[in-house]
């Protein structure tokens, strides 16, 4: 049973058939999936979700496919961790980490959007999928596309982290490294997409792809006991994730799945070296000025964000705010999360943690409400960003004497361990 009615222009509201279309012929607005919410309301209950698969497909009715899912059976359903140790350090009482860096085939939230895009690509009859990527999408299309039996063409900026390149090549796609930044890659891909009949997950399948990000928001609410968080901080590259977390919480609210009306404020986290959305919000500017990215947060390095205006609107409508952080602050953010919660996130997660710290210190996020940090990727993929910031192991000879001399000398007994955090 399908609740996907079609696609609709986000600007002028014109309706389009549910094909591989992404831009309105009349106003050039982007297209978005439109659903039969009355139909969904009749079948979708908390109980049905609770009995569903332990993957993002437990929210299948609210995802843009017609038939059964065809990819991504191991994506989604990631932990929500009550982060009491980090919370104490930041001076807040109700802090959670939505940890999308684990329990995913390629260790980032991109496995959600790709699950949906590839399922829809099958339904639309594509045998080849492609993408323009800042790294994590490349990993995810390469891996999930292999499992689902697609030919894969993947385009990346040539200067990506080693682990993101190797973590793509290992799945044997055609990987094309472009001498240019992501915005150059994306422009090239739009041209290729108009010539070849391929399913570009974030271009001609973008209306479907983007809906996969809603499942981050659905899970947050479900895991909090059918409550929307008071504050959600999320990183932005194209700005899509931010808009979809908000959309997800509004959909749950509209469908009567929440305990209380949703009043979530959403906050945009970006690196200072590529902060077109956060800067527009901070400067109260109507326009989002494209920038040339220069930051260690390469997964977020989109200088001309496709969903920038929608992300900015969500922040404004929700009453949220934005922050930017330097590369040093990003490294500190990565180390802070690792030291307090035992979670090793990539640079994008460092941006989120560091921006959250700033927003809390500035008093913009209050101390006693429910705060969720969206941790979107795994630190093992961006090790070069922090290799000079984590110190070195203590090197000793294989003897007790050497251990005591070089490690234990002058050391007092260890302080009492803090109480561990719990998984919700």
Ligand X SMILES: *Cc1c(COP(=O)(O)O)cnc(C)c1O
Residues 189-228 as x/- pattern, contact with ligand X by CB under 6 A: ------------------------x---------------
Shortest distance, position 68 Cβ to ligand X, whole Å: 26
Which residue in 24, 90, 348, 385 binds ligand X (CB under 6 A)? 348
Which residue in 24, 113, 185, 323 binds Zn ion (CB under 5 A)? 24
Shortest distance, position 227 Cβ to ligand X, whole Å: 24
Smaller CB separation from ligand X, 183 or 346:
346
**H/E/C letters for each residue in the chain?**
CCCEEEEEECCCCCEECCCCCCECCCCCCEEEEEECHHHHHHHCCHHHHHCCCCCHHHHHHHCCCCCCCCCCCCCCCCCEEECHHHHHHHCCCCEEEEECCCCCCCCECHHHHHHHHHHHHHHCCCCEEEEECCCHHHHHHHHHHHHCCCEEEEEEECCCCHHHHHHHHCCCCEEEEECCCHHHHHHHHHHHHHHCCCEECCCCCHHHHHHHHHHHHHHHHHHCCCCCCCEEEEECCCCHHHHHHHHHHHHHHHCCCCCCCCCCEEEEEEECCECHHHHHHHCCCCCCCCCCCCCCCHHHCCCCCCCHHHHHHHHHHHCCCEEEECHHHHHHHHHHHHHHHCCCECHHHHHHHHHHHHHHHCCCCCCCCCEEEEECEEHHHCHHHCCCCCCCCCCCCCCHHHHHHHHHCCCCCCCCCCCCCEEC
Which residue in 237, 262, 323, 385 binds ligand X (CB under 6 A)? 237
The region of 8-16, 53-61, 231-239, 365-373 touching ligand X under the rule CB under 6 A is 231-239
The region of 25-33, 77-85, 238-246, 354-362 touching ligand X under the rule CB under 6 A is 238-246
9 binds, among ligand X, Zn ion, none (CB under 5 to 8 A by kind): Zn ion
Which residue in 18, 60, 104, 110 binds ligand X (CB under 6 A)? 110
The region of 142-150, 229-237, 315-323, 413-421 touching ligand X under the rule CB under 6 A is 229-237
11 binds, among ligand X, Zn ion, none (CB under 5 to 8 A by kind): Zn ion
Does 276 contact ligand X by CB under 6 A? no
24 binds, among ligand X, Zn ion, none (CB under 5 to 8 A by kind): Zn ion
Among positions 128-157, residues that touch ligand X (CB under 6 A) are 136
Smaller CB separation from ligand X, 94 or 202:
202
The residues of the shown chain that bind Zn ion, judged by CB under 5 A, are 9, 11-12, 14, 24, 26-27, 29
């Amino acid at each position: 049973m399908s609740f996907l009615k079609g696609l609709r222009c986000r600007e002028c509201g014109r309706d389009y058939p549910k094909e591989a279309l992404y831009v309105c012929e009349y106003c050039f607005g982007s297209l978005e999936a439109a659903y039969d919410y009355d139909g969904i309301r009749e079948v979708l209950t908390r109980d049905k979700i609770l009995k569903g698969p332990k993957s993002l497909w437990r929210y299948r009715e609210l995802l843009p496919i017609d038939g059964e899912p065809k990819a991504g059976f191991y994506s989604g359903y990631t932990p929500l961790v009550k982060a009491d140790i980090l919370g104490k350090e930041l001076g807040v009482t109700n802090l959670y980490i939505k940890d999308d860096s684990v329990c995913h085939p390629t260790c980032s939230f991109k496995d959600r959007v790709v699950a949906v895009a590839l399922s829809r690509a099958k339904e639309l009859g594509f045998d080849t999928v492609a993408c323009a990527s800042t790294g994590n999408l490349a990993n995810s299309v390469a891996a999930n596309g292999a499992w689902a039996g697609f030919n894969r063409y993947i385009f990346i900026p040539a200067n990506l982290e080693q682990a993101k390149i190797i973590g793509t090549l290992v799945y044997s796609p055609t990987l094309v490294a472009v001498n240019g930044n992501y915005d150059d890659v994306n422009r090239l891909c739009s041209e290729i997409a108009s010539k070849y009949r391929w399913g570009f997950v974030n271009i001609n399948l973008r209306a479907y792809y983007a809906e996969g990000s809603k499942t981050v928001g659905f899970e947050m609410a479900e895991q909090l006991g059918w409550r929307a968080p008071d504050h959600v901080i999320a990183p932005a590259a194209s700005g899509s994730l931010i808009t979809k977390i908000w959309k997800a919480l509004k959909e749950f609210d509209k469908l009567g799945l929440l305990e209380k009306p949703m009043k979530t404020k959403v906050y945009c986290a970006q690196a200072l070296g590529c902060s077109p959305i956060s800067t527009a919000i901070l400067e109260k500017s109507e326009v989002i000025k494209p920038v040339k990215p220069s930051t260690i947060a390469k997964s977020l390095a989109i200088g001309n964000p496709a969903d920038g205006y929608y992300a900015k609107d969500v922040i404004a409508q929700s009453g949220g705010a934005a922050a930017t952080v330097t590369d040093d602050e990003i490294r500190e953010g990565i180390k802070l999360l690792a030291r307090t919660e035992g979670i090793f996130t990539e640079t994008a997660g460092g941006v989120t943690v560091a921006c959250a710290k700033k927003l809390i210190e500035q008093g913009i996020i209050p101390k006693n409400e429910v705060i969720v940090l969206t941790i979107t990727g795994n630190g093992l993929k961006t090790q070069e960003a922090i290799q000079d910031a984590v110190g070195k192991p203590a090197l000793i000879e294989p003897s007790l004497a050497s251990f005591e001399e070089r490690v234990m000398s002058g050391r007092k007994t260890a302080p009492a361990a803090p109480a561990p955090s719990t998984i919700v």
